[in-house]
Structure 1
Amino acid sequence: MKFVPYVIMIALLALLVLSVVYLSKKAILVFGIDQIWLAYVGISLLVVFFLVGSVALVNSTGVVGHTLYKIATIAMGVYLFLILSFLVVDTISLVIDIAPRTFGIIGMGMTLIVSIFGYWNSTNIRLTELNIPIKGLEKEIKAVHLTDTHIGHFRVNGFLQKIIDKTNAQNPDVIFLTGDYLDSKYALNKTHFEPLKQLNAPMYFVDGNHDKATDNDSIIALMRSVGVTVLENEVTHFNGLQIAGLNHMLADRNSFDMHASGDNPTVDETLQKLNIDKEKPTVLLHHAPNGIKHANQYGIDLYLAGHTHAGQIFPFTIFSNLIFEYNRGLHDYMGTKVLVSEGIGTMGPPFRIGTKSEVVSLTLSPNT
């Protein structure tokens, strides 16, 4: 299983090269370009721009870097939609003769529609409501699970306010936030943490890989400054519920995750040291849905995670299903409920196709 991410990465790289060839040929056909090399060089430079820009500029705090990052990531998403749209039109052209100019108009029109919908869909926060019975719980607890808010280049306090309002509307007793609060240093200041004071319930936070890549120590300090309880490989209690919070880490020494360091403790090693009372109803907070079998061994009743975004954009939803055993939704592993939220924000391109931005409202009820 540890080689799967590498295989997928190589496959994606190969598909990217093929996409350059495909799109270049379509540009030559649609626009009647005489100098073929111009199309290949132009499309290749566009790909290099959005790949380099989305990585190198992610932590830019200046206006120029911030703007170029947004252009690069939007271009990445639109590029994907253009490829998919042209493939659809190509399929149609197998049965209907389509002139080159018409081919281009239809393909680019579809791209525009999908791009607008994908952006709207990413900003339209949905509510997912679930009832989860938990053995040993003495009374019902209303909780809200928030994850992968990715406040930063595309989403700032206006979006955060929508999350806060939707969360407070559920009248929760407790709020769980499982990492990736920020997506970059662009939003690393108290202005983007102060609104959390409006939340009308105790809040527990564990970090994610984007928090670590941004500035984990500063994010933790800012969380604590606004009254959020940060759990760093520790256990606490709330209304009869045992809450274990883990830093973002690997499942065990036999697993691989490109977003977690092998130099840090693992889920398996950390749970051994936490003195979790297996007889008490327990919720585990961890950014990524890994180490489920280890959580089960230590009597975890409910494992809350995010990280996957469920793939965020088709066809990456397919790859995400291959990478993660639990990619989205509620599952059961030998009595341990595993809930993987699709997240609220987006990573990279500000689009969602085939997934949703969600706030998860949980009713944790006594299992009689």
Structure 2
Amino acid sequence: MRQFIPLIILIIFLGILVSANIYLGRRFAWYFDIRKVWLLYSLFASLTLFMIGGIALFTNSEGSFANIVYSAAAITMGFLLYLVLSAAFVDVLRLVLKLKPFQYGVFTLLLAVFISGFGIWNAVHKRVREVEIPLKGLKHEMTAVQLSDIHIGHFWGVKTLRNIVDKTNALNPDVVFITGDLFDGRIRLNSKNLEPLKKINAPVYFVEGNHDGYSGASEIKKMLRDIDITVLENEVTHFSELQIIGLNHMRADDESMNMHTSSGKPSIKSALNDLNIFSEQPTILLHHSPDGIEYANKHGIDLYLAGHTHAGQLFPMNFIVPLFYKYNKGLYNWNGTQIYVSQGTGAFGPPMRVGTISEITLLKLKPE
């Protein structure tokens, strides 16, 4: 049955898209008294196909044309989502407020534009989230910054990374952790776009994410090593009092299904079993997605840092993603192993955040 889950999800997704197109077509035909509703069906179907095709075909493409098409398709995705939700809100509003259909239509469009514009503004502005975490065995207080899911690509480049680095340095951390998805496609995959990372005033540790894999993980890791960033690939290292474990992006175990990882590769369970871990030392695990905490706990890991979920990124996905990820955002404790899941410092797909924030996490590590 498990092998049919991706197909079932695809069928449900396509059903939602078709239903949304029919709904928008009928609503806008009524709003603006358009008799040939098939024209609206064709319009919204074309926008949907452009949205899917532009993102699917040009995510990893390079050049100005690819950038324009991808950017337009991603923004269209976010706008259509909020156009559907705005139309649904107006349907509820009609129960208490009596206006002309044309006025409802104009309000629907303006509301979708406003939410989309706010979402872009909200994604661009990075917020610092401060979290205090006690660590067993730690003798002195330390500060760490976690960056995750920056997604350098069609929307975010050197200017965005420079801003993130400036905010990071202002926090004066002892150490910086980057938990994957630094890149999002190959369009900005060059050393120039990583130049700002040289100016971080602390040691930096990096583990790959699934989008780094799609973009070219080996190239990314080489460029990071060239600027003296420590890249961890299923290995243990030490910084000050901390034992740091970094894992490639992988499934929790061989029985787990994860559409973002490949079968036949190491899992969190097997990778941790192969490492020489000292459970008495304050230990931090870096892994892109918040999976396999039970195996981290088995090896005495005190703090697990992850990202990947974006906390849903866009309303209403911020209420849906927790159904798939038990650890969706923020700090949790599982039998003594703490896990912190970042909402992400950037954004994927639509360059928007509604109901979530673009987060730079300041971790205040204190003796327990």
Post-superposition CA distance 1:136-176 (Å, at most 9, x none): 11211110000000111111111111100110011111000
Q: Which residue number in structure 1 is paired with residue 56 of structure 2?
A: 55
Q: Deviations over 1:241-298 (max 9, x none)?
A: 0000000000001111111111211000000001111111100000000001111001
**Contact persistence 1:206–1:245 (CA under 8 A):** yes
Question: Corresponding residue for 1:327?
Answer: 328
Q: Deviations over 1:184-231 (max 9, x none)?
A: 101100111111010000000000000000001000000101110000
Deviates more, 1:300-309 or 1:30-39: 30-39
After TM superposition, the score normalised by the length of structure 2 is 0.97
Task: Give the structure 2 partner of residue 336 of structure 1.
Answer: 337
Contact 2:138 2:282 in 1 (8 A): yes
* 3-state SS of 1:116 partner: helix
Classify 1:355/1:149 alpha carbon distance in 2 versus 1 (closer, same or farther; 3 Å). Answer: same
- Verify the 8 A CA contact 1:4 1:323 in the aligned structure 2: no
Corresponding residue for residue 280 of structure 1: 281
Alignment partners' CA distance in 2, 1:292 and 1:209: 19
Aligned residue for 2:153, secondary structure, equals coil
Q: Which residue of 1 aligns with 2:292?
A: 291
Query: Which ranges in structure 1 are unaligned for 5 or more consecutive residues?
Result: none
Q: Distance in 1 between matches of 2:131 and 2:115?
A: 30
Taking a change above 3 Å as real, the CA distance of residues 153 and 225 of structure 1, as seen in their structure-2 partners, is same
Answer yes or no: is the 8 Å Cα contact 2:158–2:194 preserved in 1.
Answer: no
For residue 143 of structure 1, what is the aligned residue in structure 2? Answer: 144
- Separation of aligned partners in 2, 1:222 and 1:273: 27
State the partner residue of 1:176. 177
Tell me if the contact between 1:249 and 1:264 (Cα under 8 Å) persists in the aligned partners: yes
Indicate if the aligned counterparts of 1:177 and 1:206 stay in contact, CA closer than 8 A. Answer: yes
Letter in 2 for 1:34: R
Is the 1:310–1:355 contact (alpha carbons within 8 Å) kept by the matching residues of 2?
yes
The match for 1:357 is 358
Equivalent position of 1:261 in the other structure: 262
Equivalence map 1:156-175=2 (5 Å):
156-175=157-176
Aligned to 1:248: 249
Match of 2:315 in 1: 314
d(CA) in 2 for partners of 1:14 and 1:39?
18
**1:252 and 1:291 in contact (8 A); partners too:** yes
Q: Contact conserved, 2:151 with 2:182, CA < 8 A, in 1?
A: yes
- Structure 1 position 113, deviation (Å): 1.0
Q: How many angstroms apart in 2 are the aligned matches of 1:51 and 1:211?
A: 21
Q: Which residue of 2 aligns with 1:348?
A: 349
Conserved 8 A contact 2:286-2:305: yes
Aligned-pair CA distance for 1:8: 5.0
Q: Give the 3-state SS of the residue equivalent to 2:216 in structure 1.
A: helix
Deviations 1:57-102 (A, max 9, x none): 1011111111000000000100001111111111010222231100
Matches for 1:1-368 after TM superposition, within 5 Å: 8-367=9-368
1:11 & 1:275 partners in 2: Cα distance? 44
Bigger Cα displacement from structure 2, 30-39 vs 134-143: 30-39
Hey, what's the Cα distance between the residues in 2 that align with 1:25 and 1:200? 56
RMSD over equivalenced CA pairs, Å: 1.4
Give the residue type in structure 2 aligned to 1:212: G
Quote how far apart the aligned CAs of 1:52 are. 1.2
SS in 2 for 1:103: helix
How far is 1:4 from its partner? 6.9
Task: Determine if contact 1:8/1:319 at 8 Å carries over to the other structure.
Answer: no
> Contact 1:286 / 1:304 at 8 angstroms: preserved in 2?
yes
Equivalent AA in structure 1 for residue 305 of structure 2: L
Query: Share of identical aligned residues, percent?
Result: 47
Bigger mean CA offset, 8-17 vs 338-347: 8-17
Shift of 1:14: 2.1
1:300 aligns to what SS in structure 2? coil
CA distance change for structure 1 residues 37 and 84 in 2, over 3 Å: closer, same or farther? same
Q: Read off the aligned partner of 2:214 and give its amino acid letter.
A: A
Give the conservation status (yes or no) of the 8 Å contact 2:233–2:246.
yes
In structure 1, what residue type is equivalent to 2:317? F
Tell me, which stretches of 5 or more residues in structure 2 are unaligned?
Answer: none
Whether contact under 8 Å (1:5, 1:323) holds in the other structure is: no
Whole-Å Cα distance in 1 between the matches of residues 220 and 161 of structure 2? 16
3-state secondary structure, aligned to 2:366: strand
**Inter-CA distance 4–173: structure 2 relative to 1 (3 Å threshold):** farther
Alignment partner of 2:133: what SS? strand
1:137 and 1:366 in contact (8 A); partners too: yes
Look up the equivalent residue of 1:203 and give its one-letter code: V
Give the C-alpha shift of residue 6 in structure 1.
6.1
Deviation at 1:11, TM superposition (A): 3.3
Contact persistence 1:311–1:355 (CA under 8 A): yes
